[in-house]
Amino acid sequence: MAVATLSSRSRRACAEAASVLLVLLVIAPSVAAGGDTNGVYEPCADAAVQRGDGFTFGVAFAARGDFFSGGVQLSPCDGRLSLASKGAKLAVFRPEVDEISLLTVNTSAAGGFDPMVYTHEEP
């Protein structure tokens, strides 16, 4: 039975190749993940996005009348509504541009979330 042995020069070359491979394996994921240039994580803030960026948006769940002030329907981001003090729920998402496939709302939070509470109500 023949046993192959490596010379010290061959072992050194293999070690160098392994080192280069290890560096590439460490660097490659960070280069691939480096595409998100959007640093805005506030759903009510303005942001410019491009393909590959993440963007943050929120969905507010409250009674229909909670979105009105003085007979005018306002944005959920408008502080005059005081949605938090009215028990509104907020779901926040951060998908990547061109990669929205499924959005879910966590219904297991304290007290749970029942969407029927927020439907069929007049302002």
Reported as a single tens digit per residue, the pLDDT across 53-91 is: 888 889 999 999 999 999 999 999 999 999 999 999 998
**Alpha-carbon span 70 to 67, nearest angstrom:** 10
- Give the pLDDT score at 50: 84
Q: What is the DSSP letter of 95?
A: P
**Alpha-carbon span 112 to 108, nearest angstrom:** 5
**Alpha-carbon span 38 to 31, nearest angstrom:** 16
- pLDDT at 2 exceeding the cut of 80: no
pTM over 0.85: no
Instruction: Look at the alpha carbons of 44, 45, 47, 52 in this order and tell me if their dihedral is positive or negative.
Output: negative
Q: Which tens digit of pLDDT belongs to each residue from 30-48?
A: 444 557 888 998 989 988 8
